[in-house]
Amino acid sequence: MLRWSDDQRTAPPLALTQVDLVLRNKVRSHALRIDATPPPQWGERFHLAALFHQPLLSVHAGQWQQWAGQVYGDFTRVDVAQLHQYLDLPDIAVQRGNGALRAWVDVSRGQFSGATLDVALAEVAATLGPRLQPLALQSMVGRLGGRLLANGFEFSTQGLQFSTPDGLRWPGGNVEMTYTQAEGRAPAQGQVRADKLDLAALSWVADRIPLSPAAHAALAAYAPKGLVEQVQGSWHGPLAAPVKFSAHGRVTQLEIAAQPAARPPGPSPHVAVGRPGVRGATVDFNLTQSGGTASVAMQAGALTLPGVFEDPVLPLDQLAADVRWQVNGAQIAAQLTNVKFANADAQGALQLSWKTSDPALSPAHSRFPGVLDLQGSLTRARAARVYRYLPLELPAAVRDYVRDAVSAGSASTVKFVVKGDLDEIPFADPKKGEFHIAANLQNTTFAFVPRRLQEAGEVPWPALTQLSAELVFDRQSMQIKGATGKFAGARGLPVARADAQIVDLTHNATVLVDAQTKGPLQDMLDFVARSPLDGITGHALSHASATGTAELKLHLALPIDKLTDSRVQGSVTLADNDLQISPGTPLLGKARGVVDFTQGGFAIQGGQARLLGGDTRIAGGMQAASAANPDAPIVIKADGSITALAMRQASELGAVARLAQNATGSTTYSAVLGFRKGVPDLVVTSTLQGLALNLPAPLDKSAGASLPLRLESKRLASAAGEPVQDQLNLELGRIASASFVRDLSGAQARVERGAISVGQGETPVVPEAGVVASVNLDRLDLDAWQAVLAKLDGGGAAQNTPLASTATVPVATGESDYLPTSVALRARALTVQGRTLHNVVVGASRDGRTWRANMDADELDGYAEYRPSSSAGAGRVYARLARLRIAASSTSDVEQLLEKPTDSVPALDIVVDDFELKGKRLGRVEIDAVNRGPGVVAREGGIREWKLNKLTITEPEATFTATGNWAAPAVQGAAAGLRPASAGAAGPRRTTMDFTLTVNDSGGLLARFGMKGVIRGGKGTMQGQVAWTGSPFTLDYPTMDGQFKVNIESGQFLKADPGLAKLLGVLSLQSLPRRLTLDFHDVFSEGFAFDFVRGDVKINQGIASTNNLQMKGVSAAVLMDGKADIDRETQDIKVVVVPELNAGTVSLIATAINPAIGLGSFLAQLFLRRPLMEAATQEFHIGGTWSDPKVTKVAHRTGAPDANPDAAADNKPGVAR
């Protein structure tokens, strides 16, 4: 064991075991070998050997200071941290390191003169100087060598490789370096040769070795990366500041971080430009202290230009350039030639030269940023990325404007030139330099007022799209010249030419836009409606439509920093255009003139048009806003003439156009149209002279007469948040006036309240709610007005009428709001439905679609309600009248009213206490009917019909009740379970009625119907069913069918003029005595008293027939058989008179005749039993008309055969049927 203790160090003693020591000394040589095993923490067994030689003239063999030789050490595994304790390495601290180590140390004259070291270490950590970061390596393999020279040193590496914990790896390059210190007049000098140098790894290592603070700061700032494939250089003078140097080599994937420029002291109008950076470059260079050349190539790299662009990193897909530079003292110059570049934004080529400025001449009084001469061109560029290449010398607001304004498109044939001292850029003074960029744009979108610059909620300006133009940046200005394209929008208004410019990009940048186009006027109106011009024009054209071509000129001045100070100027030239301001206004035809506008409003110059058949002159515009009138109202004046013919053809006028069907001629007018906040104010005046009105009174007028008209619409004041309202007033001479308050907040004006007055002295007073109408006229012909109003709806039927008997009031969509909700009507004479009511007073109100009215007139008095028909079903009339008189002239009108389709006839609930029809007072009438239309049938089932639930006529003499329906014949047959006749089964609707007439006083009843003195007394019933084609109130005799029974008792036919009414006329026998020669004269001359009249009557197609009508009197019986034509009022009746009735004959006569056997069979059986009665019996024939019956005595045929002997057998005398 060998223990080594070193008192000069604080290291612990080193105990070596298995020590083999060999010492050999010769005359001039000395050899040493040691093989030993260190402690385990040191490593494994190591080998040391040394061989020294002493000089030939050495006088003492032990003077080792004169020795020369070499020491060799071989450590197969060693912990270098342990070894470091026994070595003199000033300022170096080895913390760890394990591996193999071989060293050759050269000694000359007893001093260290050089060494060669082979290392294969792992997990190395050492600190190579105070305040330095540890040099930590995961591995280190290779050879390091060094040699001390007489006045310098040599250093080299061979195959050296290492890797760091951060992933950096030295690739195994070789370095050779020689340095000689200055001696005398000879300066210090050095040479270096290297290959495969990883700059990132080298920089990492350099940060951990003792270098000057400036060197460490530079390495940290520039952070070089890349691979030096080869480099060779030399220098003279201090290494930190050589006076002469040269180098050449090649670097790949070079990356050097850019450096921001230090800001000059004090304020400066210019942006400081830093030192550029590079990434991904391959550089072949050759340089000296006075200049050099380089060839630069780049793939997927980038340049970093701090202080040049807002985004300093400029990605490049490709770059190639030849670089030359010269250094002459403080003056530096550089030239770039054959520069070609491409990235996602552009592709092109350039060449430039740059040199430092003369501080004595430069405005910056500095060599930098220097003087640039740049020329280049682009073959491809994205217009939307132009802003990205605008220099920071331009204000941020300008760069942002270009970014937001140019959003799409491409550019070709781009040329750019920059010449001059960069401190003067963009060279406002042409003598100072040149800054010019010109590009041809295609399919570009230019939003001359970017949305970002507008306030929230503002209407955006439509952008220019599909633009072809020349984009020019010239010194401090930007221009878009000769642009063609269209404005953005659905129609895309074409742009014939547009120019835009910013005169000074560096100070108060203002965008000036000049555009002109000639195209469809409708497209221009759409452009106005979708731009701030809509607000400038007071929204007057928001809903306008037009045809034809017009010309638009537009000039805008838009301060980028304060868009609220924008100025607008332009004009629209109309050339025979057709223009409609809004859907409800008349068409302006062949309009001509110029509309000039600014941001403050607009004015119409030389406006003229054809309006409603006449020439119109138009002038006016938007008045300038002021403190007293901040809303800047629009006022347009029009004077001209209109014709009735043109008004009839103007369908947009709605009801006014239809009303003009009753006008002829023409008239002049004057109109003032104003708009305030988009709401129109209108005043129209005219005398209407020259215009004839073919209207019922009071609006009838000849062409020469004057009837002053004034129509006024004005906006009402409203608080913020309240709906916008206007008031519409109409005055028509002293005849009529109206006033309506309307809500304009919706898409269509809605009437909230109003008043209508008709008649002299009437003044409309607008109520709090609803629309009231007051009519006070001497005469009012509603029939005539009904005909006029029907035309307003194209002749359609009424839907919103207050009463079935009043005029229809057709309305179009949106016009119903103007109808009154209450009406007060007074008229001395009111003509309605063909009859005239006198001294009429009506008070009516409308609730939704239901009208309610109290009516009083000489002809009627009472209350009524009317609900018009709807999709749910037909309408309904409810009336309670104290009296109602219908003259003969009115019945046909009622029948025409009820001849409407079944679905449209209303339901009826009517009670009249005193009803008079055609001058005949019928007493109390009650009607209850319902309309079972499609809607009711769908909900409840059953058949479609107008069903009469109840018809009751009550008077002292009789009561008439009936039920029935009005429906199609096929429906009636199906409802009754019958098979309808083939003829007419699908024809007009038929009325079917079951009735009962209960008679208390037949004579009084006939007297009530105008047949006074025909019968005295008599009571009984008539009961049966009748049907006819037509409505329930229109008896159609030729189509009437049915049957009924007659049973009247205790009466007497009185002496009366011949001819009674209808069927009862055939019963009078007063004319018989004049034709009898027997003793019947006394009986019949004063009339025939009867105990009963009974029988059956059938009706077939208006022919009433009977074969069993019996009248029994005190002294005789009358039997009848025959028929009568109800429509023609003719008869063909056989009358048999059986006189001298006794108890036996009375019982026979009292037997009812079976209608199945008839009168003939009955008499044949009777006379077989009473032959003497046959001898006394008389037979007559009654023919002719009801008004002039012809009575002829007929010879009685004894024993006449019966037409139906089988039936006669069943009709034996004395048997009641």
Q: Give the per-residue pLDDT at 1141.
A: 53
Q: In sequence order, which residues have a C-beta less than 8 Å from that of residue 376 and are 6 or more positions away?
A: 339, 348, 349, 350, 351, 352, 415, 416
Residue entry with tokens 């007033």: 729
Token readout for 288 is 């000296």
The arithmetic mean of pLDDT across residues 1145-1149, rounded, is 55
Name the 3-class secondary structure at 204: helix
Quick one: pLDDT band at residue 226, thresholds 50, 70, 90?
Answer: very high
Q: Give the per-residue pLDDT at 1086.
A: 56
Q: Give the per-residue pLDDT at 1162.
A: 62
Identify whether the C-beta of residue 1170 lies closer than 8 Å to the C-beta of residue 1148: yes
pLDDT beyond 70 at 1070 = no
Q: Give the per-residue pLDDT at 64.
A: 77
**Cα(1173)–Cα(1198) distance, integer angstroms:** 11
Helical packing angle, 213-222 and 199-206, nearest 10°: 140
User: Residue 1039 region, left (φ>0) first, then alpha (ψ -120 to 50), else beta?
Assistant: alpha
Type of residue at 348:
G
Is the model more confident about 821 or about 940?
821
Burial letters 53-74, b for 16+ CB under 10 A, else e: bbeeeeeeeeeeebbbbbbebb
**Cα(471)–Cα(463) distance, integer angstroms:** 16
The arithmetic mean of pLDDT across residues 1138-1155, rounded, is 59
Burial of 1197 (0-12, 13-18, 19+ CB in 10 A): exposed
**Cα(714)–Cα(635) distance, integer angstroms:** 12
Is the model more confident about 477 or about 540?
477
Is the model more confident about 989 or about 591?
591
pLDDT beyond 80 at 512 = yes
Domain range annotation of the chain: 1-73+94-115, 1036-1209
- Lowest model confidence (mean pLDDT) among 319-323, 448-452, 553-557: 448-452
Quick one: pLDDT band at residue 804, thresholds 50, 70, 90?
Answer: very low
What is the tens place of the pLDDT at every residue in 244-275? 999 999 999 999 999 987 766 656 666 778 88
Is the model more confident about 749 or about 450?
450
Q: Give the per-residue pLDDT at 379.
A: 92
pLDDT beyond 60 at 903 = no
pLDDT beyond 70 at 626 = no
Type of residue at 571:
S
Q: Give the per-residue pLDDT at 1068.
A: 40
**Cα(1205)–Cα(1011) distance, integer angstroms:** 41
**Cα(512)–Cα(529) distance, integer angstroms:** 22
Question: Which of 990, 999, 994 lies closest to 949, judged by CA?
Answer: 994
Q: Give the per-residue pLDDT at 904.
A: 60
**DSSP designation for 639:** E
Q: Give the per-residue pLDDT at 283.
A: 97
Q: Are strands 244-256 and 277-288 parallel, antiparallel or unpaired?
A: antiparallel
Q: Give the per-residue pLDDT at 7.
A: 76
Q: What is the DSSP string of 698-760?
A: TS-B-TTS---EEEEEEEEP--TTSPPEEEEEEEETTTEEEEEEEE-SSSS-EEEEEEEEEST
Q: Give the per-residue pLDDT at 707.
A: 93
Quick one: pLDDT band at residue 296, thresholds 50, 70, 90?
Answer: very high
Phi, then psi, of 613 in degrees rounded to 5 = 90, -5
The arithmetic mean of pLDDT across residues 112-138, rounded, is 90
**Cα(1062)–Cα(1060) distance, integer angstroms:** 7
Q: Give the per-residue pLDDT at 1077.
A: 32
Q: Give the per-residue pLDDT at 1067.
A: 42
Q: Give the per-residue pLDDT at 321.
A: 96
pLDDT beyond 70 at 1060 = no
What is the tens place of the pLDDT at every residue in 955-1011? 999 999 999 998 877 655 554 444 444 444 456 788 999 999 999 999 888 888 877
Q: Give the per-residue pLDDT at 1080.
A: 38
Is the model more confident about 875 or about 310?
310
Token readout for 122 is 């792992």
Q: Give the per-residue pLDDT at 1214.
A: 35
Identify whether the C-beta of residue 450 lies closer than 8 Å to the C-beta of residue 462: no
The three-point CA angle 757-738-760 to 5° equals 35
The arithmetic mean of pLDDT across residues 660-681, rounded, is 83
Q: What is the DSSP string of 877-923?
A: EEEEEEEEEE-HHHHHHHHHHHTS-GGGSPEEEEEEEEEEETTEEEE
The arithmetic mean of pLDDT across residues 1066-1090, rounded, is 45
pLDDT beyond 50 at 814 = yes
**Cα(769)–Cα(821) distance, integer angstroms:** 9
Q: In sequence order, which residues have a C-beta less than 8 Å from that of residue 1072 and are 6 or more positions away?
A: 1080, 1084, 1135, 1137, 1180, 1191
Q: Which of 1003-1008's residues contact partners 24+ apart within 8 Å by CB, and which partners? A: 1003/1051, 1003/1054, 1004/956, 1004/957, 1005/955, 1005/957, 1005/958, 1006/1060, 1006/1061, 1006/1064, 1008/920, 1008/921, 1008/922, 1008/955, 1008/957
Q: Give the per-residue pLDDT at 937.
A: 65
Q: Give the per-residue pLDDT at 312.
A: 92
The arithmetic mean of pLDDT across residues 502-525, rounded, is 89
Q: In sequence order, which residues have a C-beta less than 8 Å from that of residue 619 and are 6 or more positions away?
A: 604, 605, 607, 636, 637
Percentage of residues in the chain with pLDDT exceeding 70? Answer: 83
Helix (H) or strand (E) holding 453: none
Quick one: pLDDT band at residue 1210, thresholds 50, 70, 90?
Answer: very low
The arithmetic mean of pLDDT across residues 391-398, rounded, is 84
Identify whether the C-beta of residue 651 lies closer than 8 Å to the C-beta of residue 633: no
Is the model more confident about 1216 or about 653?
653
Quick one: pLDDT band at residue 380, thresholds 50, 70, 90?
Answer: very high
Phi, then psi, of 469 in degrees rounded to 5 = -165, 175
Length in residues, the chain:
1217
Is the model more confident about 1070 or about 536?
536
The arithmetic mean of pLDDT across residues 483-487, rounded, is 90
pLDDT beyond 70 at 842 = yes
**Cα(1193)–Cα(544) distance, integer angstroms:** 91
User: Residue 848 region, left (φ>0) first, then alpha (ψ -120 to 50), else beta?
Assistant: left
Token readout for 535 is 């607000």
pTM over 0.75: no
Q: Give the per-residue pLDDT at 1173.
A: 55
Quick one: pLDDT band at residue 1159, thresholds 50, 70, 90?
Answer: low
Quick one: pLDDT band at residue 534, thresholds 50, 70, 90?
Answer: confident
Q: Give the per-residue pLDDT at 1075.
A: 34
Type of residue at 241:
A
**DSSP designation for 1110:** E
Token readout for 576 is 């025979």
Question: Which of 697, 750, 705, 701 lies closest to 723, judged by CA?
Answer: 750
Helix (H) or strand (E) holding 495: strand 494-502
Round the average pLDDT of the chain to a whole number and report it.
Answer: 82
Percentage of residues in the chain with pLDDT exceeding 90? Answer: 38
Token readout for 48 is 């040391």
Q: Give the per-residue pLDDT at 1202.
A: 45
**Cα(218)–Cα(221) distance, integer angstroms:** 5
